[in-house]
Amino acid sequence: MRLVRALSTAVLTLGLAAAPAAADASPSPSQDDSSAPTRAGTSFRTATEIEQGQAATASGSTGDYLYWSFPADTGQRPTVKATVKLPETHVSQTWQIDVYDGLRRRQACRYGAQTRTAAADASSVELACALRTVRAWSEPWADDPLPGTYYIRLTATGVATADLGLPVGSDVRVDSEDIGGSAAVDGSLAEPLVPGIASKPEEERENAAVPAGLEPEDGWASGWWSDRWVWTAAGGILAALAGVGGYALTRGTGRPPRVPPAA
C-alpha cells in the first residue's frame, strides 16, 4: 500500500507541474503598441515585421500590394485579421488577404472571410484568415504550414480605373492559439523557414534567426518536446498503479495454512 500511495503522489505532482507549463506555452499579446509599425512593405523582401499580438497600421493607395511578416512556431494556429479603411467616395471594391509561409507557398484558410466586396457606400471592410496548425515537420507534397516566417499580402482585386490611387488605411493583427501536444509529429525541421537562415554560419544559426526581429519571444521550439510526453509518462504511471493495485486486491492474505498429515 505504501507503493500505491507513492505512485499516486507522483501522478499528482506530475499533473500539477504540467499545468503551468502548458499555460506558459501560449503566446502573450504585446501590451506596448508604441513601437507598432505604421507602414507596410511592397514585396516579400520589404515586408514589414510585426509580432503576434501587435496591431500594425499602414497607409497606401488602392491597387497597391501591402506586405507584413510575422513568426509562427510549432503547435500554433495563427489567425490574421485586417481592416481596410476606404476613401469617402469609391465604387464597389473587392479586397483580399493572402498568407504565405517561409517557402512562399500560399496557405489555405480554415475559415474566415479572406475575400470581401465593399459596397460603394461602405467606409471599411474586414478580412480574416485562420490558418491550419503549424507542424514541426511535413512531407514535401503535403503543403502543411511549417515553423518560420509568414507573409501577409493585402490588396484590392479588379479595381476600377476611377479608384486607382485613392488613399486607404489598413489595420492588421495576428493572434495565435497554442494547440499543444495534440498536433505534435515525429520529426522536425533542421532550421525554421526564416529568410537568410541557410546563408549564416552554423554556429550563428543556433543563437539567432534572420532577421532577429522575426523570432518568437521564447525562441524557436526544439521540435521534439511537447506536452504529449507528459501525458505519456502519466499514462505509464497510471498503468503501473493499476497493476500494483490489482495485485494487492487479488493476492490474498498469504500462504494457505498447512494441513497436518492424517494419522
| pLDDT for residue 199 is more than 70 | no
pLDDT at 192: 77
Quote the cell numbers at residue 246: 490489482
Quote the cell numbers at residue 61: 493607395
Q: Where are the domains of the chain?
A: 48-219
pLDDT tens figures, 74-131: 889 999 999 999 999 899 999 999 999 988 999 999 999 999 999 999 999 999 999 9
Residue 141 pLDDT class (50, 70, 90 cuts): confident
SS3 258: coil
pLDDT tens figures, 179-194: 866 666 666 676 778 8
pLDDT at 171: 96
SS3 225: coil
Whether residue 27 has a cis bond before it, omega within 30° of 0: no
Burial of 89 from C-beta contacts in 10 A (0-12 / 13-18 / 19+): exposed
Pick the residue with more confidence: 142 or 253?
142
Q: Architecture of 48-219 per CATH? A: Sandwich (2.60)
Beta carbons within 10 angstroms of residue 80's beta carbon: 25
Residue 178 pLDDT class (50, 70, 90 cuts): confident
Residue 47 pLDDT class (50, 70, 90 cuts): very high
Parallel, antiparallel, or unpaired for β 167-178 and 56-61? antiparallel
Residue recorded with cell 537568410? 196
pTM metric for this prediction = 0.69
Residue 211 pLDDT class (50, 70, 90 cuts): very low
> By percentage, how much of the chain surpasses pLDDT 70?
65
